[in-house]
């Protein structure tokens, strides 16, 4: 069976689910952040696959923008984590409950 669009979409869905499991189950802020990157990459794979199989490059342009925004997001997020660690000496989400009622 030749590899088509649906194969790539299945891989993308599985990768997205893996990232979502990481965000929900893991309790370390840094690993939650890496799982977010995994989810973004899954979306990128779906976009590139659509762009290939519909013969239009718009999907690839979107992925280009996604990668740029993800880079900016990682920079800001990691700066926030460092600032948080300076104040609290922890990256464990269950220790960060100031906003909990």
Partner 1 sequence: MQDALFYILAFLTLVFGFLVIANPFSRNPVTSAMFLVLAIVALAGLFVLLHAFFLAAVQVLVYAGAVMVLFVFVIMLLDLKEEERRKIKVLGIVGGLVSVGAILAIFLSSLLNAPLGAVEAPVLDGSTVRLGKLLFTEYLLPFEIVSVLLLVAMVGVVLLSKKDLK
User: Which residues, 39 to 98, sit near partner 1 by CB under 8 A?
Assistant: 41, 44-45, 48-49, 51-53, 55, 57-58, 60-61, 63-65, 67-76, 78-83, 85-87, 91-92, 94
Find the shortest distance in angstroms from Cβ 100 to partner 1.
15
| Distance (Å, whole) CA 77 – CA 17 | 22
In the complex with partner 1, the residue whose CB is nearer, 65 or 99, is 65
In the complex with partner 1, the residue whose CB is nearer, 86 or 101, is 86
Find the shortest distance in angstroms from Cβ 101 to partner 1.
18
In the complex with partner 1, the residue whose CB is nearer, 80 or 96, is 80
| Distance (Å, whole) CA 43 – CA 30 | 20
The distance of Cα 74 from the centroid of its chain, to the nearest Å, equals: 10
- The pair phi, psi for residue 42, each rounded to 5°, is -65, -45
Answer for the pair 93, 27: CB distance below 8 angstroms, yes or no: yes
């Amino acid at each position: 069976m030749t590899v088509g669009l649906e194969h790539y979409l299945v891989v993308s869905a599985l990768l997205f689910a893996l990232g979502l499991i990481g965000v929900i189950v893991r309790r370390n802020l840094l690993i939650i952040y890496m799982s977010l990157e995994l989810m973004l990459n899954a979306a990128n794979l779906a976009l590139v696959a659509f762009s290939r199989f519909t013969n239009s490059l718009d999907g690839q342009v979107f992925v280009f923008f996604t990668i740029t925004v993800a880079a900016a997001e990682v920079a800001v997020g990691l700066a926030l984590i460092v600032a948080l660690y300076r104040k609290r000496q922890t990256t464990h989400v269950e220790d960060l409950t100031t906003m909990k009622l």
